[in-house]
Amino acid sequence: MCKQTVVITGASSGIGRATALHLDQLGFTVFAGVRKEADGISLKSEASSNLEYLLLDVTDGDAVQIAVDTVVRHTDGRLHGLVNNAGISLNAPLELMPNTKIQQIIDVNVVGLLSVTKAFIPLLRRTKGRIINISSGHGVLAVPDKSVYAASKFAVQAITDSLRLELHPFDIQVSSVVVGKVDTAVLGKILSDREQIIETSPSEVVKLYQPLFDFFDGEVKELSGIPPSEVASLISEALTTGKPKSQYLIGPGASKMRNLARLPVGLRDWLMVKALYK
């Protein structure tokens, strides 16, 4: 049984929740970050006494510091793993994306991840711990209709690569998990949020981007996903293996997007234009 301690952000549902429960079953002491107390109570009801929840909004500096203080108080400041899972996704062409949504995506997916990681580095240094950043296929290949989200996930990849070397002298290992389609409630929310954007945008502008909507909606609906438990299992491997990889890929679409990203830019753009604008 593992007796190490791990912090997971965004553990209310989906990948984060599955990972918190999986690591709890493996014997980790788990601190699961949630934004609502009801989500924390629900999570604890399915876990052992080794799991505690943290009320953690990654964009709230005070909440981040309270989370650090709580972990220090319960573990004597010894943290073995940080899983940066908290994130939001919203798909829409940039012209239709409200500025408030642009700010929110960057605040959560990039600034929040940086803030949480910075706060926990001193604890991870004491244990020569590990950082796992949850990324996306859109962090290795930027496609139209996802410019803002892709920007945030490319940033996650850049942060991972930079920190892997920056923290190397302290033996802190840093990896990213590039996730393809996973069957969670997030997918439904992505579609409903974009419908709201479409409804509140000028119809003549919406029509200009209709080919993008049609193509990507079809891609999402037709592509089979994997359960979040499979991602949770991979994350546990990245936390426990002797030599973690710098990058893991899992789920439909992840490897395909990486392979497309390796093509010459002109060829890649030509292929995407032919697929999008038939």
Q: Is 277 a catalytic residue?
A: no
Strands 173-179 and 29-34: unpaired
Q: What are the backbone dihedrals phi and psi of residue 89, each rounded to the nearest 5 degrees, phi first?
A: -130, 135
Q: What are the backbone dihedrals phi and psi of residue 180, each rounded to the nearest 5 degrees, phi first?
A: -90, -145
Instruction: Tell me which residue of 41, 39, 2, 44 sits closest to 23, measured CA to CA.
Output: 2
- Catalytic residue, chosen from 149, 209, 248, 277, is 149
Q: Is 198 exposed, middle or buried (0-12, 13-18, 19+ CB in 10 A)?
A: middle
| Catalytic residue IDs | 149
